[in-house]
Structure 1
Amino acid sequence: MMWPGDGPWPASAAGPVTAAALLAAAVIIVRLFFVPRLQPSSGTKRRGAESGASGSARLPAGSLGWPLLGETPAFILAAYSARPESFVERRRLLYGKVFATHLWGSPAVVSSDPEVSRAVLQADASAFVPWYPRSLMELMGRSSILVLGGGLQRRVHGLAGAFFKSPHLKARVTADMHRRVARAMAAWRRPGAAPVVRVQDEAKSIVFEILVRALIGLDEGHEMQYLRQQFKEFIAGLISLPVKLPGTQLYRSLKAKKRMTNLIQKIIQEKRKRRIAECEDPHGTHHPPRDMIDVLLGNGSDELTDELISDNMIDFMIPAEDSVPVLITLAVKYLSECPQALQQLEEENMELKRRKSGVGETLEWTDYMSLTFTQHVITETLRMGNIINGIMRKAVRDVEVRGHLIPKGWRVLVYFRAVHLDAAVHDDPHAFNPWRWNKERADVMTGGGFTPFGGGQRLCPGLDLARLEASIFLHHLVTNFRWVAEEDAVVNFPTVRLRRGMPIAVTPRT
């Protein structure tokens, strides 16, 4: 399971066996001391009459694995391999696309069935609630949009979605990306500059600054650097042992979050004072929301406290460190390995550049989003890369999903990766093939066969912004440079990343 953030697990281990042994020991400690025990037999009886699930619903076939450990060690061992989906594939052959197992200290149902996964994602809080590791829950807090439910979750999600989709923000992000990418790439051209660029590091630096400005209105400078340092410490603890003793990663991450919260709440309080002054001034000018804090303050709800706003600003920063930079980096990797796709991407983007410069126009966000093949490359990168491998939910009652019984208290792992790499859903699924998206794919998009941003009420609100930022970076890269990529490998656990940061030797176009 992939959670946001760079966890404490080693990016390179002495070997998968050693890593698995160490992780198995950690799982035992967590299971014995930090995770509530559940008897494997507690959910195997059918209790449909008690909770509204039909009597015909059956618990999926499967195995609960070893005592205490369940099948967590096997899941982790597969996650460290080149084919993390192998854990699900083996059990799918034995039990079907929906099967029972025991992961992270709890009996669970794993779905690699598009229709079942879609039904779980679209279910409301009366059936399933989000579930995350304890370390992540400690760091996010109860105000996080990741765990909020009901009307408050819908309000925050709706406000965020409307803001991230707004043409005003997209225009601002486009201008910021132009400026920031141009500055970074100018440094690549300087005499004596390092001949090798690490795409992952460059993308993280660029995207973080731009998204933070959109979220809290912070410009480049000392405070931005301070926030970035604290955020790196914070995100390192998202997947860690839930021990808050001094010296542990979780303890350090909580301290870093407190320092970030203090800075963000100071900004919130200044904005509140400014809003009061503008309202009291009869000649004052009304300004549209400059950032996400302005949007939430403008809602006027007493439920949107300073604590809730600051917690969610930190949550929304995670894609800037994790999801979007990795999307950009994986796209460069896959393009480097597929010359035909790279050539077509170059031609499409060079044509756009010639057309706009020929009439003296700058590129707008709509220009980037209209690049058909570039969007296909991004879509295929999302399918292949599986930056989010899946999500977990917890059943709050016995739930029937398309004939499958999910008992109260059990977890559900909706495993996106297994569907995205399923030959029954996508032809030749392990091949990077952007051209596959030339065909009509409405059935895949709407039927649960393609869910890189999740789905239902918790669909990622920044999905359009992620595509836009990736499109702009790729455009400037292919229209200004040629490159030769060095060998690098994708690490899939605990988060998706490139082991060496995707080093490329760049040569400016003449």
Structure 2
Amino acid sequence: MEWLIGFWVLIGILVGWYYWSKEKNKIEKKRLVPRGNLGWPFMGETLEFIASGYTSRPVSFMEKRKSLYGKVFKTNILGTPIIVSTDPDVNKVILQNHGNTFIPAYPKSIRELFGKNSILQINGNLHRRVHALIGGFLRSPQLKARITKDIEHAVQISLATWKDTQEIYVEDEVKKITFAVLVKVLMSVGPGEDLDFLKREFGEFIKGLICLPIKLPGTRLYKSLKAKENLLKMVKRIVEEKKIALKLTDEKGPIMDAVDVLLRENGESGETQRLPDDFICGNIVEMMIPGEETMPTALTLAVKFLSDCPAALQQILVENMELKKRKTYSCDDYAWTDYMSLQFTQNVISETLRLANIINGIWRKAVKDVDIKGYFIPQGWCVLASLTSVHMDESNYENPYQFDPWRWEKIGAAVNNNCFIPFGGGQRLCPGLELSRLELSIFLHHLVTTYRWVAQQDAVVYFPTVKMKRKLPIRVQAITSSDD
């Protein structure tokens, strides 16, 4: 009998030890939850976060908390308790561990506007499938050859309208280029009423990306949703026309745009299930964003940074004039590789992307408890991988607030990819990153070899999105042959 009592005592000790260890682990994990301050109820630290976006150092909100709590900390912004990472290694894990650990998490207004089938929000096989399709198309040699000429044509037409005595608002002018180019890539829509309609309605639609999530008539979100309805009607009409054309050619014609790519997709492993038309239309609308927002901002800021740095402007001018002269003498057309071989121009683009921080951070949500570098992120918490903080960190870049394209000559191919992520990373790396660099290269080449310019005083505003306060007004003077 004594042995039986001893046995049950032993079992009790083991069970007690198990539950004690479990609770101890929970306590230890709670200690590892990043430190920070959640601020006021509901509002949290939102007001200070927004205020920093109207200063010349928008990353000051992150820098202050990083100095107090470390590179990973908790806060509450935009009504959401959130863990912010300014650590490039932690960011890499957040961006690469997709689906099984982290899923996209966006403000309610964005979720409302894009819907549940948005490529921003879908996960798993469907996301990989669509991302691979679009990425493969944008990287294809056939598109690169065709789109190079399309961008050149759009840039040259726009620059030809600039007058020596006229005040040019760069941000407005480059939008005419970028939106037209992207819509051509997506749907083969050229200049005309359809393009004008798409541009007008999309401009109204995108205003609601960051707004109060209230859908009452007259509110910003309501107006944006109405604009999306109008966009979807036109895109659906274009998709229907393309479906008819594909049937007539038995899908043997050339692939001209992203709609063609998505319509011809038959699924994986020989499946016959195609992507639904509503899914295609919704995501085509979403893919217009770079043409109206991110690309125009990048082009405008490149002009601003060059205006403020005469040495860089002179060097990029010399490099591009050499290319222009070679092409003039040979009578050859420009190719994708010609623009991408302009090394200093590529350095200017990299530095513009690093300093501009057009995408300031990427939002995710933890679907389970996860430990990264000793930091505990509980299930259900939102996480913000701050790209701006990494790009503006003195430990990653010397004099980070200085426009210094020459830094890339020193960094070169050895740059730590974790510290330069203007296009995101992991499975959601922007599929159009090469196209973006090409468009920047072509615009800068033709601008600097066509005009000299003087920019008026202007400032960058970082909230709600990165913009020039006055749209960067400049006055231009045409370069003559005697200036070469």
TM-score by length of 1: 0.86
Report the Cα distance in structure 1 between the residues aligned to 2:70 and 2:452, rounded to whole angstroms. 46
> Partner of 2:427: helix, strand, or coil?
helix
Which residue of structure 2 lines up, in the alignment, with residue 299 of structure 1?
265
Which residue of structure 1 lines up, in the alignment, with residue 456 of structure 2?
486
Distance 1:47 1:109, change over 3 A: farther
Picking from 213, 220, 224, the partner of 1:253 is 224
CA contact (8 A) 2:99 2:124 kept: yes
**How much does 1:194 deviate?**
5.2
**How much does 1:441 deviate?**
4.4
> Partner of 1:394: helix, strand, or coil?
strand
CA contact (8 A) 1:230 1:260 kept: yes
Q: Which string of whole-angstrom CA distances, capped at 9 and with x for unpartnered residues, describes residues 406-458 of structure 1? A: 11111111111111010000011111100110124445442x11110110111
Report the Cα distance in structure 1 between the residues aligned to 2:411 and 2:211, rounded to whole angstroms. 42
> Is residue 91 of structure 1 aligned with residue 65 of structure 2?
yes
Mapping 1:169-318, distance limit 5 Å: 169-189=143-163, 195-279=166-250, 286-301=252-267, 302=273, 304-318=275-289
Q: Which string of whole-angstrom CA distances, capped at 9 and with x for unpartnered residues, describes residues 209-247 of structure 1? A: 111011011111111101111001100111111111111
Q: Which string of whole-angstrom CA distances, capped at 9 and with x for unpartnered residues, describes residues 12-62 of structure 1? A: xxxxxxxxxxxxxxxxxxxxxxxxxxxxxxxxxx98978xx9959810111
CA contact (8 A) 2:36 2:74 kept: yes
Report the Cα distance in structure 2 between the residues aligned to 1:445 and 1:296, rounded to whole angstroms. 35
> Partner of 1:501: helix, strand, or coil?
coil
Report the Cα distance in structure 2 between the residues aligned to 1:303 and 1:65, rounded to whole angstroms. 48
Distance 1:441 1:114, change over 3 A: farther
Give the letter aligned to residue 89 of structure 2.
E
Which residue of structure 2 lines up, in the alignment, with residue 495 of structure 1?
465
CA contact (8 A) 1:388 1:452 kept: yes
Give the letter aligned to residue 213 of structure 2.
P
Q: Which string of whole-angstrom CA distances, capped at 9 and with x for unpartnered residues, describes residues 345-401 of structure 1? A: 000000000011111112111100110000000000000010111111111111111
> Partner of 1:484: helix, strand, or coil?
strand
Which residue of structure 1 lines up, in the alignment, with residue 37 of structure 2?
63
**How much does 1:134 deviate?**
0.7
Q: Which string of whole-angstrom CA distances, capped at 9 and with x for unpartnered residues, describes residues 177-230 of structure 1? A: 2212111222224xxx75211111111011101110110111111111011110
Which residue of structure 2 lines up, in the alignment, with residue 120 of structure 1?
94
CA contact (8 A) 1:483 1:506 kept: yes
Distance 1:54 1:366, change over 3 A: farther
**How much does 1:143 deviate?**
1.3
> Partner of 1:107: helix, strand, or coil?
strand
Unaligned runs of 5+ in 2: 1-21, 268-272
Which residue of structure 1 lines up, in the alignment, with residue 410 of structure 2?
439
Give the letter aligned to residue 457 of structure 1.
Q
Report the Cα distance in structure 2 between the residues aligned to 1:441 and 1:401, rounded to whole angstroms. 29
Report the Cα distance in structure 2 between the residues aligned to 1:139 and 1:68, rounded to whole angstroms. 23
Report the Cα distance in structure 2 between the residues aligned to 1:199 and 1:467, rounded to whole angstroms. 18
Which residue of structure 2 lines up, in the alignment, with residue 381 of structure 1?
352
**How much does 1:303 deviate?**
5.0
Which residue of structure 1 lines up, in the alignment, with residue 14 of structure 2?
none
CA contact (8 A) 1:334 1:381 kept: yes
Report the Cα distance in structure 1 between the residues aligned to 2:165 and 2:470, rounded to whole angstroms. 16
Mapping 1:148-159, distance limit 5 Å: 148-159=122-133
> Is residue 344 of structure 1 aligned with residue 315 of structure 2?
yes
Which residue of structure 1 lines up, in the alignment, with residue 105 of structure 2?
131
The higher relative CO (CA closer than 8 Å, separation ≥ 6) is in 1
**How much does 1:276 deviate?**
1.7
Q: Which string of whole-angstrom CA distances, capped at 9 and with x for unpartnered residues, describes residues 311-344 of structure 1? A: 1111110000111111111010000000000000
Give the letter aligned to residue 298 of structure 1.
R
**How much does 1:65 deviate?**
1.2
Which residue of structure 1 lines up, in the alignment, with residue 16 of structure 2?
none
> Partner of 1:506: helix, strand, or coil?
strand
Distance 1:54 1:160, change over 3 A: farther
Give the letter aligned to residue 299 of structure 1.
E
Count, aligned residues: 454
Give the letter aligned to residue 84 of structure 2.
V
**How much does 1:274 deviate?**
1.6
Give the letter aligned to residue 500 of structure 1.
R
CA contact (8 A) 1:237 1:250 kept: yes
Which residue of structure 2 lines up, in the alignment, with residue 167 of structure 1?
141
CA contact (8 A) 2:29 2:376 kept: no
CA contact (8 A) 2:246 2:253 kept: no
Give the letter aligned to residue 152 of structure 2.
H
Give the letter aligned to residue 240 of structure 2.
Q
CA contact (8 A) 2:265 2:274 kept: no
Report the Cα distance in structure 1 between the residues aligned to 2:34 and 2:412, rounded to whole angstroms. 30
Give the letter aligned to residue 257 of structure 2.
D
Give the letter aligned to residue 464 of structure 1.
E
TM-score by length of 2: 0.91
Give the letter aligned to residue 291 of structure 1.
D
> Partner of 2:153: helix, strand, or coil?
helix
CA contact (8 A) 2:365 2:383 kept: yes
Distance 1:337 1:128, change over 3 A: same
Give the letter aligned to residue 198 of structure 2.
L
**How much does 1:126 deviate?**
1.6
CA contact (8 A) 2:263 2:274 kept: no
Which residue of structure 2 lines up, in the alignment, with residue 470 of structure 1?
440
Q: Which string of whole-angstrom CA distances, capped at 9 and with x for unpartnered residues, describes residues 234-269 of structure 1? A: 001111111111111111111110111011111111
Mapping 1:38-77, distance limit 5 Å: 58-77=32-51
Give the letter aligned to residue 358 of structure 2.
I
Unaligned runs of 5+ in 1: 1-45, 280-284
Give the letter aligned to residue 128 of structure 1.
F
Q: Look at both structures and tell me which one has the larger radius of gyration over its CA atoms.
A: 2
Task: Output the aligned Cα RMSD.
Answer: 1.8
- Higher mean C-alpha deviation, range 256-265 or range 296-305: 296-305
> Partner of 1:335: helix, strand, or coil?
helix
Picking from 93, 101, 106, the partner of 2:75 is 101
